[in-house]
Structure 1
């Protein structure tokens, strides 16, 4: 499994697409956070990163599908997955190796954004007067959100040989998981149905973590969400093998 993980990670790091995607993510988040007047922290007047953590999920909608779209689609298109499947590895080991490689790249994309926290701390009056707990909770929520989106991207990539189709499908599924259930909850007037749909919404649990409160219900939700989509990927891969 480690060999597949290392091969997949090095393959991503040697890909120009990965660097372009991460560069666009950092450039877009930097411009939205510091330069554009409607979203600039400097014009906001408060030493907090709520603007960044509100924008990052929508940037993830394009960053993560661009990273994951080649994981299974390229293997199937080039025929190399047959060689991989004949090795003494289970389907779960192959899926986890590819999943972890993509997730590690997402974490690499987030590391440079830590400078935003330092900048906000330095600009605050007095210096260092920021809500550290909320920032830590928001980063944990953002990593869990990224992990959930990666599981969707891996699943979408397993469905097709075409990377563009995998990208488009992944963007749609990520957007629906993030905003779809919340939008549907506003349609139903029954409180019980509304609560069920809100509990299924990724955004609802992400916002809960962004407040700086680590609730086990949110952690269980994200872990269950990830396991569900990796399980669907296992069904797709296992079905094709048969």
Structure 2
């Protein structure tokens, strides 16, 4: 698994795709935080990072599929997966190696956002007037959200040889899992809370408020495990 993880990281970092994707992510996030009047912290007048943590999930819906789309689809298209499968490694090692490699890239994309946290921390009056607990909780939520989206993206990449199709499927599934159940609850007049609890947004919002509930942790870990299991099942039943 470690060999696959190292191979994937080296492959990503040796191409411009990862740098361009992460660069665009940080640029768009910076525009939302500091430039666009409706979401700018400077216009808001308060040392608050709520806009950042509410914007990143929607940027993740495009960033993460762009990272994961080539993980298995490219292997299948180039015919290199057969060579990989002949090595003394299991399907689970292949899936987890690629999963953790993509997750590491997501974490690398998040690290520069700490500059925004420091900037808002310094802009507070007095300096440091920032809800640190909520910030920590939000980063934990982003890590779990990123892990779930990566699992979804890996699954989408496993069911097609076309990277564009893998990207499109992953974007749709990430959006539906994050916001789709909220929309469904709005259409139905009964059991709204039960339907909302099926979606990621409800659990991400709870963690972002600094409330670490074991039910939310179990939800995210279950979603990650479920989509990784789907991916392993697809690889186990390959006929290509």
TM-score, structure 2 as length reference: 0.98
CA distance in 1, matches of 2:50, 2:88: 46
CA distance in 1, matches of 2:3, 2:171: 29
Structure 2 SS opposite 1:186 = helix
1:30 matched to which residue of 2? 30
Residue correspondence of structure 1 range 211-230 to structure 2 within 5 A: 211-230=209-228
Which of 232, 237, 240 is 2:238 aligned to?
240
1:106 matched to which residue of 2? 106
Residue correspondence of structure 1 range 45-194 to structure 2 within 5 A: 45-191=45-191, 194=192
CA distance in 2, matches of 1:15, 1:236: 28
Give the superposition deviation at 1:188.
1.4
**Per-residue CA shift, 1:86-130, capped at 9, x if unaligned?**
111110010000000000000000000001111111000111111
4+ long deviations beyond 3 Å: none
Give the superposition deviation at 1:207.
0.4
TM-score, structure 1 as length reference: 0.97
1:199 matched to which residue of 2? 197
CA distance in 2, matches of 1:132, 1:138: 10
CA distance in 1, matches of 2:213, 2:12: 33
2:9 matched to which residue of 1? 9
Structure 2 SS opposite 1:58 = helix
CA distance in 1, matches of 2:23, 2:12: 14
CA distance in 2, matches of 1:154, 1:197: 25
CA distance in 2, matches of 1:29, 1:158: 29
CA distance in 1, matches of 2:5, 2:215: 30
RMSD (CA atoms): 0.9
Give the superposition deviation at 1:195.
2.3
CA distance in 2, matches of 1:14, 1:187: 47
**Per-residue CA shift, 1:132-180, capped at 9, x if unaligned?**
0000000110111011000000000000000000000000000000000
